[in-house]
Amino acid sequence: MKADKITYLTDVALITCIASAGRGDAVIQAAQAMGAVGALVYHARGIGPRERLGLLGIAIEAEKDVVNILVATDYQDAVFEAVYRAGELNSPGAGLAHITPIEKMAIYIPREIRERIPGLGDSA
C-alpha cells in the first residue's frame, strides 16, 4: 500500500462518556465486551449539578473520566447501552454520554484485512 493512498472509513460513530473518576475502566471494559476495539480516557472536572446535589456540594464527585470510543454505527446502540450501564449514568449527577457521527476516518489497515474487504484489495 502506498502512503499517499487513503482508505476512508465511514459509518463510524464516536461515543463520549463522562463518568465519575475511576469508572472509566469499567466503561472501557463494557465497551470492549460489546466489540469496541479501543478507547481514549482523559480527566476532567465536572461542573453543574454538584452545587445543587449532595451535602454542601461535596457529595457529587467533581473529578470525571471522559471516555471516547470509536465504533461502527451498526453497533453504536449496543455499545452505548453498555457504556450507560457501566458508567451508572442512571444515578443523578453521575455523568452523561453522547454519540457524535463521524464523517470519515482514516487509520492503518493491515494488508491481510485489506485483502479480505471486497473491492478494496491492495489497490485502493
Partner 1 sequence: MSAEVADAPTPGPMGSRSVKLISCVLSDDGTERRLLRWLRDQGITGANSVYCRGHSVLREAKARRGKLPEPELVRLVTIVVDVDEADALFELIYAQADIHRSGGGILFMTPLTFATPFVLPEGVADGCGSFATTRID
78 near partner 1 (CB under 8 A) = no
- Of the candidate residues 63, 85, 91, 107, the single one contacting partner 1 (CB under 8 A): 107
Residue 72: CB atoms within 10 A of its CB come to 15
- Of the candidate residues 16, 21, 25, 78, the single one contacting partner 1 (CB under 8 A): 25
The dihedral built from the CA positions of residue 18, 22, 23 and 26, taken in this order, carries a sign that is positive
124 near partner 1 (CB under 8 A) = no
Name the β-bridge partners of 18.
Answer: 66, 96
- Of the candidate residues 42, 52, 59, 92, the single one contacting partner 1 (CB under 8 A): 42
- What does DSSP assign to residue 118? T
The CA distance from 93 to 18, in Å, is: 10
Task: Please report, as ranges, the residues that interact with partner 1 according to CB under 8 A.
Answer: 1, 3-4, 6, 12, 14, 24-25, 28-29, 32, 37-42, 68, 70, 100-108, 110
